[in-house]
Amino acid sequence: MLPTYSLHPIRQISLCIALAFGGAAQAQSLVDLYGAARSYDAAYQSAKAQSDATLYKSDQARALLLPKVGFGANATRTNYESSSIPVAAIDRAFNTQTATLNASQALYRPADEATYAQSRKGREQAASALKAAEQDLMVRLSQAYFDVLASSDSLTFVKAQKAAVQEQLAFAKRNFEVGTSTITDTREAQARFDLVIAQEIAAANDLRVKSLALTQLVGQQGAQPKPVMEPVALDAFAPKDIEQWVSQSQTENPTVQQLKIALDVAQLETTKARAGHLPTVDLVASYQASTNHGSATTSKDYGSNATSVGVSLSVPLFAGYSIQNRVKETVSLESKAQSDLDNAQRQVAQGTRTAFYGVESGLGQVKAFEAAAVSSQSALDANKLGYQVGVRINIDVLNAQSQLFDTKAKLAKARYDVLVGSLRLRQASGTLGEADLQAVNALLSQ
């Protein structure tokens, strides 16, 4: 009687991962590794530093509208000689100290006001850029996480197939020895066993490569993802209305948000360029204190204090047509910003629809592979029974085994693709957040 083979995916996957990494460290969830990736991933850290720099830069523009105060001081010593007076020649040295305090406050500077408005837009743009970086990290990590699980599943199924083929080979050899089967059965089993050895080597190398990619993201050697629990329900990730996703993407997608802000900045740049024709008005004040220890005409000490307050007006009259041409330049750049926004909105809408249909197709594939796995198991059982009674040959059993393991590997991969695809759909629509990562994390084995 042929031996029966039972497969427990979660247990075998966990064992395979432990063996692949050469240790029995505790498996980590998706959320755990996301926390590690946030503090390690160079791309995210670069985006965060750029965001911080943009915030500091935007604060610099505010200084254009705030008061400016300056202080200056100087001390001089003068040696004075004169022989032009007929009574007596003069040879005198004297010191002078002067201190000046200046202050100014912009009253009307339209160009600076536009620059400050641009800086506030820059803060919004920095927030959108950081949001995009966070969403990108979530998707990259999830992809690497489930790539490791998929490779681990493939290795697990190949190992299970290897064990089954090895049993079948031994069974064929025994039957040949007792004369109940031909040498053909033995050679077919041997050929299938040699093939599965090659598949095992390739699967082990693929797991090693995928694990290195995950390590590069999280900075932890031997990171071990938790497998997806069995059974798993994926209906919660099925979107219902594609137009709702597309509509969200036109307002929530970080790329679209950044280009909308870029259009506002371009319009403010035009406003700033036109302000080149306008006057500027500043409130100015100064206070000067001076102490003199003698002078050219006297040896007595004396001092003076002077205070002034006024309004400074500057009116541009002619700048060689530079202002007019600057306005034409900014208007053209404004049109470019609008075109860039239109293009991004179309691409995001297309990407959202693609992601939507990808998830929808993935859910259909999962159901189909689930049915195929049941059918493949039934086919394997039937072939085993047929082989026992002599109506099936060894190759039929081997093919049925290969089909079952291949179907189970594809089923696991389809589930992972749905989970990652649901995150990509939310990324395209601009709604991806840590709550979505938590929802996926809840489907992992605890």
Residue 236 lies in a domain: yes
With respect to residue 224, please indicate whether it lies within any of the assigned structural domains: yes
Q: Per the domain annotation, does 336 fall within a domain?
A: yes
Model pLDDT for residues 187-221, shown as the tens digit of each residue: 888 888 899 999 999 999 999 999 999 999 999 88
pLDDT for 86: 56
Q: Does any domain span residue 40?
A: yes
When pLDDT is averaged across residues 303-310 and rounded to a whole number, the result is 91
Residue-level pLDDT at 236: 57
pLDDT at 13 over 80: no
pLDDT for 226 beyond 90: yes
Q: In this structure, is residue 88 part of a structural domain? A: no
How far does CA 96 lie from the centroid of its chain? Answer: 63
Picking from 142-151, 178-187, 272-281, which range would have the lowest pLDDT averaged per residue? 178-187
What is the 3-class SS of 230-244, one letter each residue? CCCCCHHHCCCCHHH
- Average pLDDT of the chain? 87
H or E element, residue 26: none
What is the CB neighbour count within 10 angstroms for residue 437? 20
Least confident range from 36-50, 51-65, 154-168, 170-184: namely: 170-184
Provide the domain limits for residue 423: 9-66+109-278+320-441
If one compares 110 and 223, the residue with the highest pLDDT of the two is 110
Work out how many domains the chain is built from and give that number. Answer: 1
Q: What is the CATH number of the domain that holds 23?
A: 1.20.1600.10
Position 121 confidence tier, pLDDT thresholds 50, 70, 90: very high
The answer to the question of residue 305 being in a domain is no
In a domain, 97, yes or no: no
**97: which strand partners?**
75, 291
Burial 385-398 (b: 16+ CB within 10 A, else e): eebeeeebbbbbbb
> In the predicted model, is pLDDT for residue 172 greater than 90?
no
Asked if residue 302 is part of any domain, the answer here is: no
* Residue 3, pLDDT score: 34
How far is Cα 72 from Cα 62, in angstroms, rounded to an integer? 24
Question: How large is the C-alpha radius of gyration of the chain?
Answer: 39
Nearest to 56 by CA among 144, 122, 155, 152: 122
Task: Specify the range with the lowest mean pLDDT, choosing from 91-105, 122-136, 326-340.
Answer: 91-105
pLDDT attached to residue 188: 83
Judging by beta carbons within 10 Å of its beta carbon (0-12, 13-18, 19+), is residue 209 exposed, middle or buried? exposed
- Name the pairing type of β-strands 301-314 and 68-82: unpaired
Residue 84 has pLDDT above 70, yes or no: no
Whole-angstrom CA distances from 144 to 18, 131, 223, 365, 400 are 17, 20, 11, 21, 31
Rounded percentage of the chain residues whose pLDDT exceeds 70: 89
pLDDT for the residue numbered 91: 62
Per cent of the chain over pLDDT 90 is 64
